[in-house]
Structure 1
Amino acid sequence: MKRLLALLLGLCLSLGAAAEVRLRVFVGGSNQRPDLMRKLFDQYLADKPGLTIDIETGGATSDLQRQYLSTVLNARDNALDAFLIDIVNPAQYFQAGWLEPLDAHLGPADQLLAPYLAVYREANVVQGRVAALPAFADALFMYYRRDLLDKHGLPQPRTWEELGRVARQVQQAEGNPKLQGLSLQGAPVEGAVCTFLLPYWSQGKAVQDPQGRSVFDAAAAARGLQQWVTLMDQGVIKRNVAEVKTPDTVNEFKAGKVLFALNWSWAWDRFEQDADSQVRGKVGVMPLPAMTGGQSATCTGGWQWAVSAFSRHKAEAARLVQFLSTPEASRFLAVRGALLPTYAELYTHPEVVAQVPWFADAAAVVRHARSRPVSARYGEVSDALRSATNAVLARSRQPADAAADVESRLRRVMR
């Protein structure tokens, strides 16, 4: 009898151990709000005994996070089960064989992605398979000192040329030589890709056709780069802009040293909630200016939940990712963390609007934002655009030469 009881106890322990699953999830850095992700994980675990979720964090920027994930996944390491990736990465990671197709576990792509904003549906389907699911949205916004424009009776500029005139008027009227007219990213980081694309897109130009082939217009690109040079010459953009990274823009604007600033949605809380902010209650959000005769355009950002192709618990990780992408999770992140929803209807949800009123202005920007080029070789595309931007802003290359070089590089990469 003792032996029988021992055998039964051993069997129960064995079955219990077999039912236990531990998932490890990479959730990025502070801008991706690991604290809120932990709360979502705990909600998910409430009725799932035997499942444990460990969080891994790291990387203050998307570039650093991309470097880390590329190292882990290229080594086919199974240490991570799921992770957040930038909107530019699903095609690149999927075609590298690093992502588990989620439709294999959760259902057909058209049904799975139907509820989301269109740009996220498009970014997360690769070769007809679901590479990832949207976590939260983002876009590049134009922040401005609403108090200063109101004080001097000036309108929101609709073109980059007009922005230059408005900025110079305010700079002269304020008598503040340290006040920058416009802060943007010129260092060779991912933000410089958008710095390149904003004036280019606003001329009605595209980088690739629906088949992914390059349709790059070097003349339009040169005009866009020249626009930044002109604003530098006018004293609107500071001369060492080739050294400016995304956090630098946030810190400069927060310190009251900038009139207009290009940055992502997470910057809003830094401006309005940080104890050392000099611009609290003085900030507005406006559509991005366009090149003269063109239309406003901005970069889509945002983060996606993906499952590692090397995970030992793919099915469990896929179910977790599905939960993290629900409207309920999106609303939680919006209300608690001001992270932009991936569902159109949440921008007018009473709870969301009550907590984050500026989302009413953000909705149109996100809905009409454009995706950076979708390519399995996105790293090379990004390098071509960011290095051209940096070289022009550092005054080491002329806009036309830099644009011609980009055209040549994209023709080789995007065939």
Structure 2
Amino acid sequence: MSSSQMSRGECGTEPGLRAHADPRVRRRGVPAPARTWAVAASAALLATALAGCGSDSEQEPSAGSPAEFKGRGPITLATGKDTTRTIQGQLDRWNKSHPDEKVTLVELPESADQQRQQFIQNAQTRSDAYTVLNLDPIWVAEFAANQWVDQLPADKFPLDKMLPAVVKTGQYFNKQYAIPYNTNAGLLFYREDLLDKAGAKPPTTWKEMKETCAKVAELPEGKGVDCYAGQFDKYEGLTVNFSEAVASAGGTVVDARGKATVDTPAAKQGLRFLAEGFKDGTFPKESSTFQEEDGRRAFQSGKLVFHRQWPYQWALAGAKDGSSKVAGKFGVAPLPGLEGPGTSSLGGLDLAVSKFAKNKATALDFIKFFSNEANARTNLKASSAAPPYTDLYDDPELRKQFPYLDTLKTSLTNATPRPAVVQYGDATAAIQESAAAALNGSTSVDAALAEMQRNLSAAIAEK
């Protein structure tokens, strides 16, 4: 969230319905509390080894078993700030029918980086304050490797009804440590009314997008409306947007062998698109500090022609209570790329059980309820959150209410899963530092990528 509003997030292997590469995830000790961790929602795609399986040289974590899910009573759900305002209603339904096993919502900060830090601090102190953890999928490998979460009984959940790649986001060594709550892919929100007046269609390339913005700028209605924004602040969202730009130019950030690959022509084209966007005014200067909600507010107030965002924006931007100036005036398309439609990163949220929690039998039953298809449907209707269940994308009623579902399914199908590297914090920090320097113009694209290649390679090599 990616990113990390409740339905973001930024999110692991989610619905880019591609098989995971053979992961070479390294396990190491618990990170120091003082360390700076850059994390997500949403979501970035260091296209590398994923957590679905591991190398022979790795030590599989000692996992919990279903028999250990004992104890009933009150529990907590720890999750990023619920900007969709949908979670408490679901908890109320559970609590009404489970008066002795009530779930208390623990809202963590909106920032994914801060969420992850608090999750880690809770684990380091072996605290039972958090029972069920709503994790960005990219964290699952780290939490499983460090034995901060329990292995879950996969056969107790309807995983066969979910998008296969989404299910894998919760796996480590081919065992299920988390259950998908929702999923995510980046989309291009655009002002349909302005494009219609400019005689333009939704762009499929970066060049077309800039040309369309030039046409809109000539309209009386286009005065004061900026072209494009994404998530460009120096946090996980920047990793997501950088990775999408590289993938949309035909490159990778980390290849299937686990090697950093940002010293390539494709990576240069991707980062150059972002850097030049600020230099030539395609991106408003203030968007250099945009996270998801900043951009949403800008789009909703009519200040942007195009906005890269997670699906949750659909419900908020379409609100007819006066909070959105663009309600009924926007559409959704796949992200544009260098020579054609681009490639999204994957986001979402996965539910896990803290190794140090009490009342784990209750926790297991609650995850079954909270992640079920009925709630996924409710979440879609209430907040346009992308569901993990395959059938919902083809449901006639839902497709009528949410005409972008076909576009979302396409984006999910073509999305690239992020690698569940245990030391993901170090890898994403390396990306953010160098990408931010290129975007603010303090270093050249070539120099930024050379530095990123060195630091990303070092992060991947950590053991």
Q: Normalising TM by the smaller chain, what interval?
A: 0.7 to 0.9
Deviation of 1:301 (Å): 1.1
SS at match of 2:194: helix
Structure 1 match to 2:218 = 172
Structure 1 residues 313, 179: CA separation in 2 closer, same or farther (over 3 Å shift)?
same
Residues 297-342 of structure 1, C-alpha deviations (whole Å, 9 max, x = no match): 0121111111101112223312221222222221222223322110
CA contact (8 A) 2:138 2:169 kept: yes
Structure 1 residues 370, 129: CA separation in 2 closer, same or farther (over 3 Å shift)?
same
SS at match of 1:21: coil
Structure 1 match to 2:123 = 73
CA contact (8 A) 2:231 2:241 kept: yes
Structure 1 residues 269, 295: CA separation in 2 closer, same or farther (over 3 Å shift)?
closer
Deviates more, 1:78-87 or 1:322-331: 322-331
CA contact (8 A) 1:256 1:278 kept: yes
Higher RCO, 1 vs 2 (CA within 8 Å, ≥6 residues apart): 2
Deviation of 1:264 (Å): 1.4
SS at match of 1:92: helix
Bigger helix share:
1
- AA matched with 1:98: W
SS at match of 2:218: helix
Structure 1 segment 273-312 matched on structure 2, within 5 A: 273=319, 275-292=322-339, 295-312=341-358
Match of 2:182 among 125, 136, 141: 136
Kindly report the root-mean-square deviation, in angstroms, between the aligned alpha carbons of the 2 structures: 2.4
CA contact (8 A) 2:343 2:414 kept: yes
CA contact (8 A) 1:331 1:341 kept: yes
Deviates more, 1:69-78 or 1:360-369: 360-369
CA distance in 2: counterparts of 1:375 and 1:290, whole angstroms: 26
Deviation of 1:232 (Å): 2.9
Residues 176-223 of structure 1, C-alpha deviations (whole Å, 9 max, x = no match): 552211112221021111221122102332233445443444432222
Structure 1 match to 2:316 = 270
CA contact (8 A) 1:297 1:369 kept: yes
Residues 234-262 of structure 1, C-alpha deviations (whole Å, 9 max, x = no match): 32112343222222211111111111111
Match of 1:161 among 207, 212, 220: 207
- AA matched with 2:214: R
Structure 1 residues 249, 42: CA separation in 2 closer, same or farther (over 3 Å shift)?
closer
CA distance in 2: counterparts of 1:257 and 1:183, whole angstroms: 10
Structure 1 match to 2:136 = 86
Structure 1 residues 213, 322: CA separation in 2 closer, same or farther (over 3 Å shift)?
farther
Structure 1 residues 345, 50: CA separation in 2 closer, same or farther (over 3 Å shift)?
same
Structure 1 residues 42, 229: CA separation in 2 closer, same or farther (over 3 Å shift)?
closer
TM-score (norm 1): 0.87
Structure 1 match to 2:155 = 107
CA distance in 1: counterparts of 2:74 and 2:269, whole angstroms: 53
Residues 60-96 of structure 1, C-alpha deviations (whole Å, 9 max, x = no match): 2322322222221222111111021112211122222
Identity %: 25
CA distance in 2: counterparts of 1:388 and 1:113, whole angstroms: 38
CA distance in 1: counterparts of 2:298 and 2:390, whole angstroms: 32
Structure 2 match to 1:200 = 246
CA distance in 2: counterparts of 1:141 and 1:324, whole angstroms: 26
Structure 2 match to 1:243 = 289
Match of 2:82 among 30, 35, 43: 30
Structure 1 residues 344, 374: CA separation in 2 closer, same or farther (over 3 Å shift)?
same
SS at match of 2:102: strand
TM-score (norm 2): 0.78
Deviates more, 1:19-28 or 1:80-89: 19-28
CA distance in 2: counterparts of 1:242 and 1:20, whole angstroms: 47
CA distance in 2: counterparts of 1:361 and 1:297, whole angstroms: 13
Q: Does 1:186 align with 2:206?
A: no
Deviates more, 1:312-321 or 1:73-82: 312-321
SS at match of 1:289: coil
CA contact (8 A) 2:262 2:268 kept: no
SS at match of 1:88: helix
Deviation of 1:230 (Å): 2.6
Match of 2:191 among 135, 145, 159: 145
CA contact (8 A) 1:45 1:52 kept: yes
Structure 1 residues 185, 332: CA separation in 2 closer, same or farther (over 3 Å shift)?
closer
- AA matched with 1:31: T
Structure 1 residues 70, 275: CA separation in 2 closer, same or farther (over 3 Å shift)?
farther
CA contact (8 A) 1:195 1:389 kept: no
Q: Does 1:390 align with 2:436?
A: yes
SS at match of 2:338: coil
CA distance in 1: counterparts of 2:389 and 2:240, whole angstroms: 23
Structure 1 match to 2:277 = 231
Q: Does 1:374 align with 2:420?
A: yes
Deviates more, 1:203-212 or 1:83-92: 203-212
Count matched residues.
Answer: 391
Deviates more, 1:258-267 or 1:143-152: 258-267
Deviation of 1:371 (Å): 2.2
CA contact (8 A) 2:248 2:343 kept: yes
SS at match of 1:69: helix
- AA matched with 2:448: A
Deviation of 1:23 (Å): 0.9
CA contact (8 A) 2:72 2:362 kept: no
Structure 1 residues 229, 55: CA separation in 2 closer, same or farther (over 3 Å shift)?
closer
Deviation of 1:19 (Å): 7.6
CA contact (8 A) 1:186 1:389 kept: no
CA distance in 1: counterparts of 2:127 and 2:302, whole angstroms: 45
CA distance in 2: counterparts of 1:152 and 1:177, whole angstroms: 13
SS at match of 1:281: coil
SS at match of 1:352: helix
- AA matched with 1:141: L
CA distance in 2: counterparts of 1:395 and 1:319, whole angstroms: 51
CA distance in 1: counterparts of 2:372 and 2:73, whole angstroms: 22
**Unmatched 5+ stretches in structure 1:** 1-17
Deviation of 1:32 (Å): 5.2
CA distance in 2: counterparts of 1:235 and 1:48, whole angstroms: 55
Q: Does 1:41 align with 2:91?
A: yes
